[in-house]
Amino acid sequence: MSAPLRLGLLGYGTVGRAFVRLLQAESPRLALQAGARLRLVAVASRALPRKLPQAELPSGTRVGEDLLAVATAPDVDVVVELLGGVEPAGSAVAAALDAGRSVVTANKLLLATRGADLATRAREKGVTLAFEAAVAGGIPILRAVREGFTGDGIDVVSGILNGTSNFVLSEMARTARPYGEILAEAQALGYAEAEPSADVEGADAACKLTLLARMAFGQEVPLDSVRAEGIARLRPVDFDYARMLGRTPRQLGIARRLPDGRLLLSVRTHLVSNDSILARVDGPFNAVQVSTVHGGDFVFTGRGAGGDPTATAVLADVVQIARSGHRAGVPPFGWDERSPFAPAGPADLVAPFYLRFVVADRPGILADLTTALARHDVNVDAVLQIPCRDKDALPFVVTLEPVDEARLGRALSDLASFPFHREAPLVLPMTP
């Protein structure tokens, strides 16, 4: 019988505790089904001594606060990093790889900012860097993109990549309550952090999209190349207008390869058709759609966050390492050689758009707006206005025929000079 794979765990928060529970519950089955004998030998966390009931850990597991000691311990084969953030996680992961240890991590920010360096270290040492849990929690989307679609080319990877934002938008659509009230509810339910900006401003989804784009297209995609916009500016009235248009607001991350190989990347709110699968993904769930050259569209859905879903993806990576005999297999990002990043720009995004204005009502506003749009060859499709008693802050909507976003941006710059605006226009692309 082969020796057990010895694990060292860094971090003992929500996901770390879920991983330990899952490891203990599933180890007997995994030994029979996968031939994977797994043993947790060490845990390091700066908060560990204060909050750990020893009964939570397998007998004989040593505990402490020294991350590097566990990351490089001679009796650890695989380091499981669940600290989050760039540091001290980055130094611990680098040390583990340099010491010849395979690493499993759920740390999307670390991978988005330092993934190329860590992948190089893993390759040089002949060990594995695995991170299925870094995108969409328990949904096995990275393995699918990295390995499942190698027989086909990928044109687009898109979807709902942040459960917090999707919960807020779903509840605003369902209840007509304002953004701030529903965000507070999400925090109370544990769907949003006490400091939620990474989720609601798009930074979390941008990290995930960076990893997906690197895997799908083999380019060195930098995190700062992803345009990220949040959801805080949406009002209940936007959901009323969306229903009139047969659409639903969803925050989408989209990585699209153009025919010349350049990549168009963004995280922003779209108005998606109610006929779309993405319109029916409610609450704290994720959904990723992969559009391929020959095979068509594939959609993966499930819980994208939380301790248990994330822990299942972490454990799946550990089992894969055990099955491979602790040998490095497919490169971490799926490509032996990645090409330089080739970015597309606003002129490459062509779509119909939703523009919501809030104005101090007076005669001639619509004529001024449409004239300014026409100067830039931007064609109006429809004008929508729900009756409103507040004439000093009147919301109304203009929808546009398909236009490239560079041209629309120039038109909006002209529109900004009009004195009747009460806030900047809300601009949302409309997608099938």
- What is the domain partition of the chain in residue ranges? 5-137+307-323, 144-302, 346-431
Q: Give the SS3 label for residue 252.
A: strand
**What is the DSSP code (8-state) at residue 223?**
G
How far apart (Å, rounded) are the C-alpha atoms in residues 320 and 362?
66
pLDDT score of 306:
75
Query: How is domain 144-302 classified at the CATH fold level?
Result: Dihydrodipicolinate Reductase; domain 2 (3.30.360)
Please state, as a whole number, how many other Cβ atoms lie within 10 Å of the Cβ of residue 88: 14
Structure tokens that stand for 379 in this block: 């064609």
How far apart (Å, rounded) are the C-alpha atoms in residues 173 and 416?
29
* pTM of the shown model: 0.94
pLDDT score of 49:
56
Q: Which helix (H) or strand (E) holds 71?
A: helix 67-71
How far apart (Å, rounded) are the C-alpha atoms in residues 350 and 228?
18
Tell me the helix, strand and coil percentages in the chain, rounded to 5. 40, 25, 35
CATH of 346-431, one of 3.30.930.10, 3.90.660.10, 3.30.70.260, 3.40.50.300: 3.30.70.260
How far apart (Å, rounded) are the C-alpha atoms in residues 163 and 177?
18
Number of H helices, E strands in the chain: 14, 18
How far apart (Å, rounded) are the C-alpha atoms in residues 432 and 421?
30
Hey, what CATH class is 5-137+307-323 in?
alpha beta
Per-residue pLDDT for the chain (432 aa), expressed as one digit of tens each? 478 999 999 999 889 999 999 999 999 999 888 788 999 999 999 876 555 665 688 888 999 999 999 999 999 999 999 999 999 999 999 999 999 999 999 999 999 999 999 999 999 999 999 999 999 888 999 999 999 999 999 999 999 999 999 999 999 999 999 999 999 999 998 888 889 999 999 999 999 999 999 999 999 999 999 999 999 999 999 999 999 999 999 999 999 999 999 999 999 999 999 999 999 999 889 999 999 999 999 999 998 777 888 999 999 999 999 988 766 678 889 898 889 999 999 999 999 999 999 999 999 999 999 999 999 999 999 999 998 888 889 999 999 999 999 999 999 999 999 999 999 999 999 998
How far apart (Å, rounded) are the C-alpha atoms in residues 332 and 236?
42
How far apart (Å, rounded) are the C-alpha atoms in residues 18 and 140?
18
Residue numbers annotated as active site: 208
Q: Regarding beta strands 394-400 and 353-359, do their DSSP bridges make them parallel or antiparallel, or are they unpaired?
A: antiparallel
49 φ, ψ (degrees, to nearest 5): -60, -25
pLDDT score of 221:
97
Does 88 sit behind a cis peptide bond, omega within 30 degrees of 0 on the bond before it? yes
Q: Are 350 and 61 spatial neighbours (Cβ–Cβ below 8 Å)? A: no
User: What would the DSSP string read from start to end of 191-219?
Assistant: SS-SS-HHHHTSHHHHHHHHHHHHHHH-B
How far apart (Å, rounded) are the C-alpha atoms in residues 132 and 120?
18
